[in-house]
Structures are given as C-alpha cells and as structure tokens.
A = this chain, B = another copy of it.
Amino acid sequence: MGRWEPNARGRLANAALELYRERGYEQTTVAEIAKRAGLTERTFFRHYADKREVLFAGSGELQELFVRGVADAPGSAAPIDALAMGLEAVSGTFADRREYARERQAVIMANAVLQERELIKLASISAALADTLRRRGVAEPAASLTAEAGVAVFKIGFERWILAAEERDMWQLMRESLDELKAVTAGR
C-alpha cells in the first residue's frame, strides 16, 4: 500500500467526471484521471477496477439501501408500501449529490456502453427487490411485478430529479412518480 491520500476515492471520482465531460468518456485514460486528481495510477487501481467502474462505484450501496428499506418495512405493509419505504431510504442518500448525478447522467447518456451498464445495474436492483419481496411472503408474479414497478418509479423519478430546473427533493419526486404509476394503472 502507498502512502495515505486524503479522500483519494472522491478526488478520483470528481477528476474522472470532469474529464469525461471535457473530452468524452472514450477519450479519457486512467493516467489522465490520476494526474488530474494529483494521484498515481496505482492509487487509482487501489480504488477502482477500471475507468467505467468509477461511474458505478455507488451501485452496490444503492441496491443495498433500496433492499434494506423494503426488508425493514413493517410486516403488515402491502408490497407497494414496502417498496415506497425502499424508495424513501434511497432518496435520503442522494440529497446533496444532485449536481454530481446530473454530470454523471450526461456522461452515461452520451455512451452506449455506459447505458448498457446502467441497464444491468437496474436489472440487478429489480432482481434483488423481487427476492426481498418473496422473503416477505409476496407470491409470484406479484413480487417481480412490484420490483419492476419499483425500478421504473426510481428510474423516472431520478430522471426528473436531475432535470436542469428541478428543485424539489428526490423523495418528493419519487412519491409523485409512484402516485402517477398508481393513477395510470388505475386507468386514469
């Protein structure tokens, strides 16, 4: 292990995002990211497997929070209400990261490979949510459908949250998206 670098992980993530925005994701190298962060390539690889994973480092934590929120809902909660608790748990962690999330999304939307990786992330969350709901005693296909609905609400709510002019907090937008899904499935 090299010498300790204060907040190396966060500095590398910010440097990577800056460079992806300036030069494009494909054109940026790990060497350039490390240099921009004032760190070595070796330090980069202690924190991230490759330049793609810098953008997906939070995926595991996001999934864990979402799943835990659902798992910790009262046993009497309907599946959709347990799901809402997962969305609330997730929303809390994004509070002060809107600008980072906006920049990250712009990078992802500009690159097909990153979009695929994002789809895999969401599919993984859906599978984990379905599993959690089954453990709560929800039968199939209700468990899988609720999980898919949860990921849909998260995805659409997130896209609204990072719109340029949007100032409402994430949980409010998630609630609104969930209410909207309830309205459309009710035929309104």
Q: Give chain A's interface residues, CB within 8 Å of chain B.
A: 78-81, 115-116, 119-120, 123, 141-142, 144-146, 148-149, 152-153, 155-157, 159-160, 176-177, 180-188
Complex Cα gap A88–B185 (Å): 17
Would you give the shortest CB distance from A95 to chain B, in whole angstroms? 21
Complex Cα gap A148–B79 (Å): 18
Task: Report which of B78, B142, B155, B159 forms a contact with A180, defined as CB distance below 8 A.
Answer: B142
Cβ of A149: which chain B residues have Cβ within 8 Å of it?
Answer: 149, 152, 181, 184-185
**B186 lies within 8 A of A185 (CB):** yes
Cβ of A142: which chain B residues have Cβ within 8 Å of it?
Answer: 180, 183-184
Complex Cα gap A20–B141 (Å): 29
When C-beta atoms are compared, the residue in chain B nearest to A153 turns out to be B145
Grouping DSSP codes into helix (H, G, I), strand (E, B) and loop, the A interface class, with mixed when no group exceeds half, is helix
Task: Knowing A80-B185, A80-B187, A184-B80 are in contact, say whether A177-B119 is a contact too (CB < 8 A).
Answer: no
Complex Cα gap A157–B141 (Å): 9
Complex Cα gap A157–B187 (Å): 20
Complex Cα gap A72–B152 (Å): 25
Complex Cα gap A157–B145 (Å): 10
Task: Report which of B79, B119, B176 forms a contact with A116, defined as CB distance below 8 A.
Answer: B119
Complex Cα gap A184–B185 (Å): 10
